[in-house]
Chain A
Amino acid sequence: MFLYARSEKVHKDDRMSRLTIPQIEQKAKNIRKNIIRMNSHAGQGHTGADLSEVDILAALFFSVLKLDKNHLDDPQRDRFILSKGHGIGGFYCTLVEAGFIDESSLETYLQFDSQLPGHPVRRNTPLIELNTGALGHGLSVGVGLALSAKLSGRDFRVFVLTGDGELQEGSVWEGAMSAAGFKLDNLSVIVDRNTLQLADRTEKIMPLEPLTAKWEAFGFDVKSVDGHDIAEIIETIEAIDLNGGQPHVILARTIKGKGVSFIEDRASWHHKIPVDDQVMKAIRELE
C-alpha cells in the first residue's frame, strides 16, 4: 500500500513564506518519509543521496530562497541548481512540501515517460533549471547565471548543490576558477560532504581533502557547517558577504542516508531501496 504523509498547507499567501526552524525541521521529516515511501514504491532510487541533502534543501526552500510561487518566471527570483542530479528524489519530495508538485505524482516516480524521471528534466518540473545527472555540470551553469545577474544589474542569487564525489570532475574546477575570476559574490556552492560516493569512501577512491584549502586556493570564501543543522545552515548563508567580490562555498558535513539507522553512512545504500518491513521501520525512525 502506498501512503504519503499528508502535510498541512502552511503557505497562506502567494509568497514563499519563511518558516520557523521547528516548522522547517518538520518539513524535513516529511520530505524524508516521502523519500522512503516513494523509493520503495518505485522499486528504485538513490535513497542514500536523497536523505543526505534533505536539511540543506529544506533550509533553502523554506527560508533562504527568494521565490514568488506564482511568478516563477520573475527574472529577479533566486536560482537553485541541483548539480548532484541523482538527488532528484529528495528534490521532488521537497517540491511537494513546498507546494510546487502534487504529492500524488510521486507515485509515478521512475515510471515510463513519467513527469518525474530519475534525473531532473527542466521541461517537466517547476524550479528545475538544468537537466543534470552527469556530474560536474551545475557549477559552470551557475557561473553563467550569476554572471547574467551581474551583467544585467539584477540582484538575484544562485545556489548550486554538488555532491562531494562530484568534485572529482575536472569541470567543477574550471567553473570554480571562473567564478572567482568573474568575482561572483552572488554565487554559492553547497557541497553535500557525506564522504561517500557510489562505490566507497571518497578519500579511499580519490582523496578530496584538504577541501577547504582547495576552495580557498581557487579564490572562494569557504564556510563549513553541520549539514543537518537547519538553523546553522540558514545563519551561515545569511551571514555571507554579498559585496566581497568572492564566490562562496559551504562545505556541509552530512551523513549519507541521514535519519534511518540502517541506511546511514553505508555506501551500499547509494541506490538501494527499503523493502518489506524496512519501510515501516524507516518511517518509525523518522517520526
Chain B
Amino acid sequence: MVRTFIQAVEDGVNLAVVVGDSTSTSKIAPFREKYPDRVIDVGIAEQNLVGVAVGLSLGGYVAVTANAAPFLIARSNEQVKNDVCYTEANVKLMGLNAGVCYGPLASTHHAIDDLSIMQGLGNILILAPSDPVETDQILRFALSHTGPVYVRMDSGKFPILHDEQYKFEPGAVDVLKRGNDVTLAAVGSVVYEAFFAALELEKMGMSAEVLNVSSIRPLHRREIAESIRKTNTVVTVEEHSLHGGLGSLVSEIIAEQQLTAKLLPLGITRGQFSKAGPRSEIRAHYGIDQRGIVKAVMGLLRRKDMVRSYEDEQAPAL
C-alpha cells in the first residue's frame, strides 16, 4: 500500500493520508518520511478521522483513510454514509486488517460485516484485493477514480496469484483457473485458499473453476452466472459473515438469472460473532481454508467416499 502511495505522489496525485493513531497499523512510516505533510494523524477519533478526510477532499486532496476496518466500519459508520458516500466525496477508505485478521483479539477487532455494510450504502465502489499484485492495481485504480471507494485490506502474507501483467478492471470477474465441475467463487484474503483447493481437487480428478471476485461493486454479475451455468455447482468462500457478503451476492445472482444450481456458501456462521483464536484455526473452524473447501466440494459432488479418505489422510496434520 505504502509503495503505491509513494508512487502516486511521484506521479502527481495530490494525496493526503489520514490515520487515527494507526501509523503502525497502516505501516505508513516510509510514506511519512518522504511526505510528512501528507500524513494527518487525528488520534483515536474515528468519526473525526473520516470527517477530516472528507474536508481534505473538498479542499482538493485525494484523501485516503487508513485505520483498522472494524473501527472504520462501525465507529464512523454515519460519517462514511453521509459525509463520504451521500456527499460523493473523493475519499478512499482503506479497511485495514479486515475479516478475522486480528484472530485472537476477538470480535471487537474483527470486521466480518464490512462488505455487507458497504453494499447497503449508495455511491461507493467496493473492492477486495486477493494478493499484493492486485492490491497495487486496485489502489492505483481507486486513487485515479473520482468518488468514494472502499478497499477491504489485509496484512497477511499471502501467496502471489497474479503475474505482473495482471490488470485489474472494475467490475470484471478475475478467472484464476478454468474448470467444469464446480465454481469456486472467493473474495479477498481467502482467494488463495480456494485456488490451492482447486489445484488439489484437480489431482483428485475434479475440475474447479476459480473466480476471484475482487470487484464487489461494480460487478459484472453475468460473468459469475456464466460460470455457474457451466458447472451447475458453486461454492462461495469468504472471511466474512454469511449475511450480505459474497455468498448472499451469488445467491442473488442465481435467483436473478433463474439458474438451477447447487450453492454452498462458506463463511462465518449467520447470526453469530466470529470465534477468536489463531487465524488459521478460525478459518479451519468455518471451513474457509484450503482443506475445508476441498471437503465441501467433495461433499457437494457427492464424493462422500473421498471425503472420508481425505479426512484420514489429513488428520495427522492437525
User: Residues on A close to B: CB < 8 A?
Assistant: 75, 79, 121-123, 129-134, 136-137, 139-149, 151-152, 154, 170-171, 174-175, 177-178, 181
Contact = CB atoms under 8 A, between A and B. Distances in A.
A106 B18 CA distance: 39
Interface of B: 16, 18, 37-38, 40, 42-43, 45, 47-48, 50-61, 63, 78-79, 82-83, 86-88
Contacts of A130: 54, 58, 82-83, 87
Contact of A152 (B58, B59, B63, B82): B59
25 contacts: A79-B58, A131-B83, A137-B78, A137-B82, A140-B54, A141-B54, A141-B58, A143-B48, A143-B55, A144-B56, A145-B58, A145-B59, A147-B55, A147-B56, A148-B16, A148-B58, A148-B59, A149-B59, A151-B37, A152-B61, A171-B47, A171-B51, A177-B43, A177-B45, A178-B42
A148 B48 contact: no
Chain A contact surface mostly? helix
Contacts of B45: 174, 177-178
A117 to B, nearest CB: 11
Nearest to A149: B59
Contact of B82 (A131, A144, A170): A131
Nearest to A123: B88
Contacts, number: 106
A130 B63 CA distance: 15
Contacts of B88: 122-123
B53 A144 contact: yes
A139 B87 CA distance: 15
Contacts of A146: 55
Contacts of B86: 121, 131
Contacts of A121: 86
A142 B52 CA distance: 7
A144 B54 contact: yes
Given A134-B82, A143-B48, A178-B43, A122 B87 contact: yes
Contact of A140 (B38, B48, B87): B48
B40 A147 contact: yes
